[in-house]
Amino acid sequence: MFDGRLVFTGEAVGTLGKSDDESYFNYTDYEHNALRMMRLSFAGLWQPVDRLAFVGEIRSENFDQPEAYAAYVRVRPWRKHAFDIQAGRIPPVFGAFARRIYNSDRFLIGYPLAYQYLTSLRPDASPIIADDLLRMRARGWRSSFPLGSVDAGPGVPLISAFEWDTGVEARYLTGRTETAVSVTTGTLSNPRVADDNNTKQVSGRFALKPVTGLLVGASAARGGWLSREVPTLDGLSRYAQTTIGTDAEYSRDHWLVRGEMVWSRWRLPFAAIPAEGPSVEALATWIEGRYRITPRWYAAARGDRLGFSRITSTIPGSRPVPWEAPVVRFEAGGGYYLRRNIVAKASIQWNDRQGGRVTSRQFVTAQVAYWF
């Protein structure tokens, strides 16, 4: 039935941590906690000819109905050039972390804040004045705004690591550089299959390997992020998410260190524009390291901070405050390889938030991951 090469892989990851229905530090939406999740994924690649491949991955979280995480066609137009085009539900070109889909490439259990922590911003609802936004500080797991959808719902992270966008991307690879650009339907914080605002996101990344073991990258993306559900007086394309990021990784011997810095700005349709302007910003910075102690044991740690720009309430005499509650996270842990493809991990994560009902919380989490 299938000519050519057909290759499969799969992964089962069980994560067990303390339930958290108060602080929602690790929620990826209103229902899923990244520290308390069973994830099954199955990926396949069919390459009927050398320069054409079909790639797909389906994934189920907590035994929900499986969803297509990736589904695209990959074409290499010229045999002699490492230039590839991919179309469909494609991996993001921005940054580095979102493409680390395999558990084996993630040392710790928790996610970097930029890729998981839910801000209060929603693409289908918007604040009218600064006070609407400030009322939702530290409520990203279930925020609500007066403009657009009236239902409460989860906000968005700076970049979603749990969904991929739909569109077309091109990548050109040389010995020491990688250049990639994409045009997609959604945005980094709100990847989509179906268009909801007649705008496209353009994103790109340039990565350089100056020496073996060192990789530095720079990324940028911009695209309309508000959906049609939010009524605006001007075009939705004016309400863009603009993101710039840098990433670096260095490894040598038994060490690996990597980190990213991501700055993002969302323009909002305020009826009364705050003194700071019509946009809000966020800056996420994280660095993590891993050391292989023995062939089976490793230790890892990550420091992570998510900060926000300030806006001023309409209440007379107010001082500017961050539009979201800044968060600091530190996670330390380790892993033990039972077999090459079975790893048991444990970690402890400290979270501190400058706002909300619960301002700090620790989580002890264990995880077993298997791949084939």
Short-list 111, 118, 161, CA closest to 324? 118
Rank residues 180 and 311 by Cβ distance to other proteins and give the closer one. 180
Residue 295 touches other proteins, criterion: CB under 8 A: yes
Entry field: residues in the chain: 372
Q: Residue 108 Cβ, how far from other proteins at the closest point, in Å?
A: 17
37, 53, 134, 300: residue in contact with other proteins (rule CB under 8 A): 53
Rank residues 35 and 343 by Cβ distance to other proteins and give the closer one. 343
Three-state secondary structure of 142-155 = CECCCEECCCCECC
Phi then psi for residue 291, to 5 deg, are -130, 125
Q: Residue 344 Cβ, how far from other proteins at the closest point, in Å?
A: 13
Terminal Cα-to-Cα distance of the chain (whole angstroms): 23
Rank residues 116 and 143 by Cβ distance to other proteins and give the closer one. 116
Strand-pair category, 125-126 with 147-148: antiparallel
Stretch that binds other proteins, among 222-230, 252-260, 305-313, 326-334 (CB under 8 A): 252-260
Residue 292 touches other proteins, criterion: CB under 8 A: yes
24, 25, 27, 69: residue in contact with other proteins (rule CB under 8 A): 69
Rank residues 21 and 253 by Cβ distance to other proteins and give the closer one. 253
22, 48, 51, 174: residue in contact with other proteins (rule CB under 8 A): 51
213, 231, 235, 278: residue in contact with other proteins (rule CB under 8 A): 213
Residue 45 touches other proteins, criterion: CB under 8 A: yes
30, 102, 206, 330: residue in contact with other proteins (rule CB under 8 A): 102
Report, in angstroms and rounded to the nearest whole number, the Rg of the chain calculated over CA atoms. Answer: 21
**Token pair in block for residue 351:** 């979270």
Stretch that binds other proteins, among 92-100, 267-275, 277-285, 319-327 (CB under 8 A): 92-100
Work out the angle at residue 159's Cα, subtended by the Cα atoms of residues 158 and 165, and round it to the nearest 5 degrees: 140
Size of the site for other proteins (CB under 8 A): 51
Rank residues 58 and 332 by Cβ distance to other proteins and give the closer one. 58
Strand-pair category, 177-184 with 255-267: unpaired
Q: How far apart are CA 323 and CA 333, in angstroms?
A: 32
Residue 188 touches other proteins, criterion: CB under 8 A: no
Short-list 142, 184, 148, CA closest to 165? 184
Residue 44 touches other proteins, criterion: CB under 8 A: yes
Answer for the pair 293, 338: CB distance below 8 angstroms, yes or no. Answer: no
14, 32, 40, 56: residue in contact with other proteins (rule CB under 8 A): 56
Stretch 125-154 residues interacting with other proteins (CB under 8 A): none
Phi then psi for residue 59, to 5 deg, are -145, 145
Residue with tokens 């990597």: 258
13, 35, 101, 109: residue in contact with other proteins (rule CB under 8 A): 101
Residue 321 touches other proteins, criterion: CB under 8 A: no
**Token pair in block for residue 236:** 């939705």
Q: Residue 136 Cβ, how far from other proteins at the closest point, in Å?
A: 32
Q: Is 190 helix (H, G, I), strand (E, B) or coil?
A: coil
Short-list 275, 255, 277, CA closest to 266? 277
Residue with tokens 């035994």: 63
Q: Residue 147 Cβ, how far from other proteins at the closest point, in Å?
A: 35
Helix residue ranges, H only, 70-129: 113-116
Q: Is 134 helix (H, G, I), strand (E, B) or coil?
A: helix
Which positions lie near other proteins, rule CB under 8 A?
Answer: 5, 7-9, 43-45, 51, 53, 55-57, 69-70, 72, 74, 76, 82-84, 86, 91, 93, 98-102, 169, 171, 173, 175, 178, 180, 211-213, 251-256, 292, 294-296, 337, 339-340, 371
